[in-house]
A and B are shown apart, each in its own frame.
Chain A
Amino acid sequence: MWNNKKAIVMEEIIFLVLNAIFFIVLLVFIVSSVNGKAVLEQKYAKQIALLIDEAKPKTIIYLDMRDAIEKATDKKNAVKINEQENKVIVKLSSGRGYVFNYFNDVGINYRLDGNNLFLEIKEKENV
């Protein structure tokens, strides 16, 4: 009698633990996917390119990228701007980065200042 009750309690515990594991895994997956590096790479590459497109020379922009920089594998090289090819590259994990072009023909000084991206838009120097 006592053994039977113990077995039922054990079954209930196993059931609850398995269900809890299932929902925790599901929640972790959803949160990590929605705030994932892939989404952030795309979001910031496009945002930076559009900011550059809209900016006029002598504009200075500080962009708060805390959520992305905190997740970056290589924090110092999370953002790169290729002036020759007019490309913004945001790379938060090792491997491939997200690339987006801008069309504004301007010169750009940029650096990551902690969690902020500093952008200085200037006249393009003629080569």
Chain B
Amino acid sequence: MFKMRGKKAGEKWLSIWWFFVLVVILTGIVVGVSIFSASEINVKKLEADILATKVIDCLINDGKINEEFLKGSLDIFKECKIDKEIITKKTATDEGKYYIALEAYKLEDCEVKDDKQECKNSLVNGYNFGIGDFVNQCKIAEVMKEAKNYPFCSEKYVYVLSGEEKLILHVFAGSNQRGGKEVV
């Protein structure tokens, strides 16, 4: 503490400690607000949900599944108007941002266990694009509190008809797109 002309009131407030406290508060708030401002608005789950819904919308018409899909000859990117390059793009610096997988099962091959749909013997193969490891990474992200570098996924099971036969369409979509600042 330093004395200002020996005045007690001045000594009480105009001390170096008071301003030290102010600086500590200021630093804390600046750091806190900066962290908040730099934090990411996470829309990965929303994006994965939109991707899954978009695929379901284009594969099913009036409750009936596109038969070309079951034959394995459907180009889902062309059919669903999804940019294949964006979904499957992989570069040296970019590991890929999306994953989408489609499967179809007979109704009798599926059962609900612990509130979770479980199916076996998919009728179609080869409808998976992007980073397959998102399946595991999304499970990790779900149980972690802080998972900003992990993808978020959306999984949907839809009852559909193929002629008279009842099927279940399983769609799994994931996104790990973070976006960022670029020179434009």
Query: Interface on A for B, CB 8 Å cutoff?
Result: 4, 7-8, 11-12, 14-15, 18-19, 22, 25-26, 29-30, 33-34, 36, 38-39, 41-43, 45-46, 50, 53-54, 57, 80, 86, 89, 91, 95-106, 124
Contact = CB atoms under 8 A, between A and B. Distances in A.
Contacts of B98: 103
- Indicate the size class of the contact surface on chain B: 35 or more
B7 A11 contact: yes
A105 B83 contact: yes
A7 B29 CA distance: 33
Contact of B184 (A4, A46, A96): A96
Given A12-B9, A97-B182, A103-B86, 14 more contacts: A4-B7, A7-B7, A11-B9, A25-B26, A29-B30, A42-B179, A50-B47, A57-B81, A98-B181, A99-B180, A101-B97, A101-B177, A102-B86, A103-B98
B180 A46 contact: no
Contacts of A57: 81
Contact of A33 (B13, B34, B41): B34
Nearest to A14: B14
